[in-house]
């Protein structure tokens, strides 16, 4: 399977929604990750689609959020079509994200067995962070978190609205 990565804006928005429903279920909108970035526009430069012969098989989205007054990139959802999972698509999408913004402080809610093993996300820095909803603490992950506050609430980056894709 040859996978081509492209900006997520190249994908049909309805195809992205269908992919997310297939990967996470249709109740996904109530997840805490959605509340953390509520009202924020996606960061175009850090959101990608994976195509196999022009069929959308994977996507990754990134959002501008904040921890207190520090800017953080919220990563996710990362989704791969159920019939294309475990074939390296998720890894390609994550690698492209990290190559594009290697130094950016990032946060996500995900499985540490996957995001820690390959991409350097850990829960070490996040123990004192509050989030707007339920979270399994071991799944609240961060990368490049050295300069971030140890405590605070992760939420929409309202102080930078309008600047995100400028
Ligand atoms: C999680 C997801 C993004 C991974 O992408 P993928 O393309 O399927 O996985 P990759 O091919 O890049 O990675 C494969 C490796 O990661 C491992 N892996 C995949 N998903 C994993 C998970 N949730 N936990 C632990 N390991 C995982 C595989 O076992 C495999 O390891 P191996 O090479 O030693 O066999 C994708 O499976 C997906 O969209 N799943 C549905 C949504 C979901 O459950 N997300 C949970 C995390 S937020």
Q: Which pLDDT band, with edges at 50, 70 and 90, does 35 fall under?
A: very high
Looking at per-residue confidence, does 141 or 27 come out higher? 141
Closest C-alpha among 34, 61, 63, 65 to residue 48:
61
Mutational test site, ligand 1, from 86, 91, 109, 141, max ligand atoms within 8 Å of CB: 86
| Global pTM exceeds 0.85 | yes
Long-range contacts of 121-125 (CB under 8 A, 24+ apart): 125/150
Mutational test site, ligand 1, from 84, 88, 114, max ligand atoms within 8 Å of CB: 114
- 113 C-alpha vs ligand 1 centroid, how far in Å? 9
- 16 C-alpha vs ligand 1 centroid, how far in Å? 18
- 76 C-alpha vs ligand 1 centroid, how far in Å? 13
Domain ranges of the chain: 3-160
Question: Hey, is 91 helix, strand or coil?
Answer: helix
Q: What is the pLDDT of residues 63-115, one digit of tens each?
A: 999 999 999 999 999 999 999 999 999 999 999 999 999 999 999 999 999 99
Q: What is the pLDDT of residues 1-30, one digit of tens each?
A: 799 999 999 999 999 999 999 999 988 877
Instruction: Evaluate if residue 130 carries a pLDDT over 80.
Output: yes
Please say whether the beta carbons of 108 and 93 come within 8 A: no
Closest C-alpha among 87, 69, 136 to residue 108:
136
pLDDT for residue 34? 95
What is the rounded end-to-end Cα distance, in angstroms, of the chain? 36
CA-derived radius of gyration, the chain: 15
Regarding the domain with residue range 3-160, which homologous superfamily does it belong to in the CATH classification?
Answer: Gcn5-related N-acetyltransferase (GNAT) (3.40.630.30)
Distances (CA, A) of 99 to 94, 143, 153: 9, 13, 27
- 159 C-alpha vs ligand 1 centroid, how far in Å? 34
């Amino acid at each position: 399977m040859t996978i081509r990565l492209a900006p997520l804006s190249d994908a049909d928005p309805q195809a992205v929604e269908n992919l997310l429903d297939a990967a996470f279920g249709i109740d996904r909108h109530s997840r805490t990750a959605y509340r953390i970035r509520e009202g924020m526009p996606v960061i175009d430069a850090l959101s990608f689609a994976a195509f196999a012969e022009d069929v959308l098989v994977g996507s990754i989205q990134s959002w501008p959020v904040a921890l207190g007054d520090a800017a953080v990139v919220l990563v996710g959802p990362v989704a791969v079509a159920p019939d294309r999972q475990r074939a390296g698509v998720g890894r390609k999408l994550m690698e492209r994200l990290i190559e594009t913004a290697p130094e950016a402080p990032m946060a996500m809610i995900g499985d540490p067995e996957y995001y820690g093993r390959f991409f350097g996300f850990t829960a070490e820095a996040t123990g004192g962070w509050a989030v707007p909803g339920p979270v399994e603490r071991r799944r609240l992950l961060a990368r490049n978190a050295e300069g971030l506050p140890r405590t605070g609430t992760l939420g929409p980056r309202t102080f930078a609205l309008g600047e995100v894709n400028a």
